[in-house]
Amino acid sequence: MPSWKIHLIFDLIFVAVFLGLIFSLGLINNLITIFFLVLLNLTAALFPDIDTPKSRIRAYVSLILASAVTGFLAVNFSVDSVISGVIGFALIYLAIRFFPTEHRGATHTLWFSFIFSFALTFVFWLIFRFPGFEFCLYYLIILWGYLSHIILDKIT
Ligand SMILES: [Zn+2]
């Protein structure tokens, strides 16, 4: 199984192709948007290994989800003691981090890559409400990063 670093390095080839297209076709001129799209692409390239409890992406996503859930519970159910907040956070974190999953299972399939890319694009669309053209662009760039992961796993 290639490490997350190898996946990022391999994905840089995909990023280079993407940037080449963007600049030669003049699709986007805004550097901040391009930077953000590259970041999404790199994240997607690491995402499939979320099915491995030891993976770095799993650690990060567990941390983000546990913080979000704890924050949500604390605000909505007025948890006032710090101790119960900390214990709740730790339990949620451990549950997500070590939930048993099969490596190279669902997240390493093509159909999942299409659904994941669409779902993530949709979340950003809910926030930014960008036009259809940008929707396609976000979708394709996330999918592009995701495919780089699946392809590298297939050939190694
Ligand atoms: Zn993988």
Per-residue tens of pLDDT for the chain, all 156 residues? 789 999 999 999 999 999 999 889 988 888 898 999 999 999 999 999 998 888 888 888 898 889 888 888 888 877 667 788 888 889 989 988 888 887 788 899 999 999 999 999 999 999 989 888 889 999 999 999 999 999 999 998
Distance from residue 126's CA to the centre of ligand 1 (Å): 29
Distance from residue 136's CA to the centre of ligand 1 (Å): 25
In a shared domain, residues 86 and 156: no
* Phi-psi region at 104: left, alpha or beta (left = phi > 0; alpha = psi -120 to 50): left
Domain boundary pick from 81, 100, 119: 100
Distance from residue 14's CA to the centre of ligand 1 (Å): 16
What per-residue confidence (pLDDT) applies to 27?
85
The answer to whether 138 and 124 have CB atoms below 8 angstroms apart is: yes
Distance from residue 47's CA to the centre of ligand 1 (Å): 8
Total count of domains within the chain: 2
Residue 47 DSSP symbol: G
In a shared domain, residues 37 and 7: yes
Quote the pTM value. Answer: 0.81
Distance from residue 58's CA to the centre of ligand 1 (Å): 12
Within 10 Å of residue 32's Cβ, how many Cβ atoms?
A: 8
CA dist 4 and 139 (Å) reads 22
Within 10 Å of residue 95's Cβ, how many Cβ atoms?
A: 13
CA dist 85 and 111 (Å) reads 38
Q: Which residues make up the environment of ion ligand 1, defined by Cβ < 5 Å?
A: 48-49, 153
Please give the structure tokens belonging to residue 62: 């567990």
Range of the domain at 112: 1-52+105-156
Within 10 Å of residue 119's Cβ, how many Cβ atoms?
A: 10
The answer to whether 73 and 88 have CB atoms below 8 angstroms apart is: yes
What per-residue confidence (pLDDT) applies to 143?
97
Residues in Cβ contact with 120 at an 8 Å cutoff, skipping those fewer than 6 apart = 40, 44, 138, 142
CA dist 156 and 6 (Å) reads 11
In a shared domain, residues 24 and 46: yes
In a shared domain, residues 88 and 110: no
Distance from residue 108's CA to the centre of ligand 1 (Å): 7
In a shared domain, residues 4 and 74: no
In a shared domain, residues 95 and 21: no
